[in-house]
Amino acid sequence: MNISQPTVVFVSKKGLQKILNVQKKLPIIQKIIIMDSKTDYQGFQSMYTFVTSHLPPGFNEYDFVPESFDRDKTIALIMNSSGSTGLPKGVALPH
Three-state DSSP class for residue 18? helix
User: According to DSSP H, which parts of 24-75 are helical?
Assistant: 47-52
pLDDT tens-digit profile of 1-57? Answer: 777 788 999 999 999 999 999 888 888 999 999 999 888 988 899 999 999 999 999
Nearest-angstrom CA–CA distance, 34 and 39: 9
Q: How many residues does the chain have?
A: 95
Rg, Å, the chain Cα set: 16
Residue 11 has φ and ψ, to the nearest 5°, of: -145, 155
